[in-house]
Amino acid sequence: MRWENLTADSGHSRADDTALFGAEAVVTRTFDTPEFSGITFHEIRARSIINRVPAVSRMSFQWTVNPYRGCSHACVYCFARKTHSYLDLDTGLGFDSQIVVKTNAAELLRRQLGSHRWQGDHIAMGTNVDCYQRAEGRYRLMPGIIGALRDHANPFSILTKGTLILRDLDLLKQAHAVTDVGISVSVGFIDPELWRTVEPGTPAPERRLEVVRTLAEHGIGCGVLMAPVIPFLSDAPDQLRATVRAIAAAGATSVTPLVLHLRPGAREWFMAWLGRHHPHLVRRYERLYADGSYAPKWYQRRITRQVHELAREYGIGPADAPMPRRMPEPEPPTPDLPEGTQLTLI
């Protein structure tokens, strides 16, 4: 999605919108608010809300819905940072504080789900940026989105670090009664000091595990994506054991490890953070990630084996729900499908 592919609506934009997004940008409203100190919201009306996942991602699903771009969770490793460059926005602080809100997401989704061209495929949410980040407390887009999926009995999954998902517990139960619903919470580690510096805008790991516990108590199974496992900072055997033990104690149905990957956009931001907080690790990271965005296969296999062995020990297994074992590629720098465009399923 680019700014020039958005439709106009009533309201006003800040005088510098054109300078920020380019001459063809059309933004419903751009503003700052004291309730969200340091965050700027860019409200837009998207032309389409269902996005095709690039084939190279090798995901078990083909379609996603992303009501937000940018994320106030401010995770220093977030792979989706690169997507902000497609909008001429900064992938560092800009990604954390310049939040794009697709205000018409729910109504647009309901219309697209009702189209005769839509075949009812699984839709994944939260695989790009978190749909339950802080902005959702203000905009409340997810109740309308879940309601539309429920009403069309369309299978879906949600991946989140946000505790706000519990606000929509009743809707999730209703959807669960009529279609396949997969919920996964991301908890890569439980070290409080590491959490405060690497995921500063997220709820604490123990609060996320409370989400897992609460969902289980209401009959909604919830897996944990143990992501990311951060080399040399959260990958020691005792750290892995403590994390898996806590995940099991919360009643998770599965645990799936994912080693940190550093794509362009995220790599630069993470390495700058590493240089400030753990300068002695910079050279080790340069060697470990010398061949690209991913840690070596031998390292990934070692972590996966260790976590799965611990999971069996604590009575849980690897994920079997349609959640990603590797995060999908960021949304490509191409427009959302315009209304009226035929969706070709492969």
Q: pLDDT of 262-272, one tens digit each?
A: 999 999 999 99
Cβ–Cβ under 8 Å, residues 129 and 68: yes
> Running DSSP on this structure, what letter comes out for residue 45?
B
Percent of the chain with pLDDT over 70: 82
Contact 27, 13 (CB under 8 A): yes
Mean pLDDT to the nearest integer, 215-243? 97
Q: What is the pLDDT of residues 140-190, one digit of tens each?
A: 999 999 999 999 999 999 999 999 999 999 999 999 999 999 999 999 999
How many helical (H) and strand (E) elements, i.e. helices and strands, does the chain have? 13, 11
pLDDT, tens digit (0-9, with 9 covering 90-100), for 98-129:
999 999 999 999 999 999 999 999 999 999 99
Whole-number Cα distances in Å, 159 to 42, 66, 162: 23, 11, 9
Q: 3-state DSSP: the chain helix, strand, coil percent, rounded to 5?
A: 40, 15, 45
CA nearest to 255, candidates 316, 183, 303, 190 = 316
CA dihedral angle for residue 315, residue 193, residue 186, residue 212, rounded to 10 degrees: 60
Which amino acid, residue 14? R
Both tokens of residue 228? 């990311």
Estimate to the nearest angstrom the gap between the alpha carbon of 248 and the chain centroid: 22
Structure-block tokens of residue 154: 């369309």
